[in-house]
Amino acid sequence: MIRQTILCCGFLVVLVCGLLVSPAAAQQDETVCIQCHGGLPDALGVPVGEWRQSLHADNGISCHDCHGGDPTDFAMAMSPERGFLGAPDYTAVPEFCGRCHVGVLGDYQESAHGQALQAGGAQCVMCHGNHAVQKASLDLINPESCARCHDYERADKIKGILADTDGKIIAMEEELARLGKLGMAVEAFEGQLFDLRNRFHRAFHTVKEARVREQTGEVLAGLETLRAGVDEIDAGLGQRKLWGGVAIALLVLAGILFLQMRKTYEEDEKG
Ligand code: HEC
Ligand code: HEC
Ligand code: HEC
Ligand code: HEC
Ligand code: HEC
């Protein structure tokens, strides 16, 4: 009897704890980093608000994913033993971001910007920002940003080469969405387009006209192949429509014939 009571109490304790813990679990994204820095002034608090609006926040990349540290322990959060890295200085930023963006880092390191990093070459944060990183697009190439360190002309040339292909990629995305809505199997095409798109958006980081032209050329060739596949599907759809039309025409014809026969039959009856 006593044992049963103890078990029963134990169960109740677990239940109550569970109820108390679950709201905390729902706030799991509120790490100790966010809780503490959210209440700090100026440069220590600003990152929280900026980060909340970022594409990284949307994708679950939080403070500790970039800065390291222990997001569950107030006292030890920023201890180097828990992997805290601190804030990188100017020249350490590419490697800092490149832990996740490996392909971009490779292209960047080969580029004039990467080569001139120690001498003030642009790095990731100069173009993308640090905490308010947004979806990347060609709009990032503009006089305000690019003419801080040199003339804009070279920048604009590269933007020009990329813009045409960018438009073609977007058009192909729309085509595949249209065919998908009609129930066509386009998953394989979408996979190929996704790869092309990724390759294309990385190409910029070389900032070398010849390299950008070359990579853009490869992406355009890939788009041509996709275009052929889409045309084939469209031709199939057209034929389906044609045969559908023929079938309807035959049905109408049969209907007319039937009415005609019935009329003749009725006239025969009367006559
Ligand atoms: C209890 C409050 C508190 C917590 C928890 C906390 N921080 Fe901090 N953080 C501070 C204060 C205060 C400073 C400024 C003084 C210093 O650098 O120690 C700071 C500084 C920083 C800096 C700048 C360091 C530099 O090198 O300039 C970064 C980056 C940072 N914190 C990230 C984090 C991350 C990531 C977490 C969670 C893993 C975290 N913080 C948790 C209070 C906190
Ligand atoms: C995408 C990676 C990334 C994420 C996520 C991120 N940071 Fe940072 N943070 C940086 C970089 C890079 C710097 C170095 C500053 C620079 O070069 O502009 C920095 C600098 C800082 C600094 C130093 C002060 C300053 O602004 O220079 C603090 C404090 C800080 N971060 C706190 C945070 C907190 C708190 C979060 C979560 C809300 C966070 N960071 C999320 C990349 C990140
Ligand atoms: C000189 C400015 C500049 C620098 C420096 C720079 N970027 Fe970019 N980044 C851009 C532009 C512009 C685009 C968009 C290109 C496009 O849409 O084709 C972009 C695109 C991206 C993308 C999106 C690629 C995709 O698949 O859509 C990522 C991720 C990225 N950059 C990360 C980084 C990282 C990490 C670094 C540092 C190693 C870096 N960038 C350095 C300007 C820059
Ligand atoms: C812990 C991994 C991680 C780190 C470190 C990191 N990122 Fe990201 N980043 C991601 C993920 C995940 C996404 C969203 C998925 C995607 O688009 O690749 C993303 C998206 C981006 C995008 C948008 C890509 C697009 O499709 O338009 C840019 C630009 C970017 N990051 C730049 C940076 C910069 C600059 C830094 C350093 C300050 C950085 N990232 C550090 C993981 C990371
Ligand atoms: C922080 C300074 C800085 C910013 C900002 C910057 N650049 Fe540069 N850029 C450099 C340096 C340094 C070089 C190498 C020296 C040179 O060629 O002038 C360079 C070189 C270049 C080159 C020549 C590449 C080659 O191989 O000949 C191009 C193109 C270029 N940048 C494009 C851009 C674009 C596009 C932007 C804006 C999205 C931009 N830059 C923003 C510093 C910067």
Q: Tell me the C-alpha to C-alpha distance, in Å, between residue 231 and each of 194, 227, 228, 237.
A: 19, 6, 5, 10
Q: Report CA 17 to chain centroid distance, whole Å.
A: 39
Average pLDDT for consecutive 10-residue bins of the chain (271 residues)? 46 42 50 97 97 97 98 97 97 98 94 97 97 95 96 95 93 95 92 92 92 92 94 87 83 87 78 58
Number of H helices and E strands in the chain, helices first, is: 13, 0
Which residue, judged by its Cα, is nearest atom 35 of ligand 5? 155
For the entire predicted model, the pTM comes to: 0.86
Residue-level pLDDT at 248: 86
Task: Give pLDDT, residue 241.
Answer: 79
What local confidence, expressed as pLDDT, does residue 271 receive?
58
Would you state the pLDDT for residue 29?
Answer: 58
Residue 150 alpha carbon to ligand 5 centre in Å: 7
d(CA 222, CA 203) in angstroms, rounded, equals 15
Pocket of ligand 1 (CB under 6 A): 31-33, 36-37, 44, 63-64, 67, 69-71, 74, 77-78, 86-87
Q: Which ligand is nearest the CA of 154, by number?
A: 5
Angle separating helix axes 153-181 and 187-203, nearest 10 degrees: 170
83, exposed or middle or buried, with CB in 10 Å at 0-12, 13-18, 19+?
exposed
> Could you identify the atom of ligand 2 that is nearest to the CA of residue 89?
17
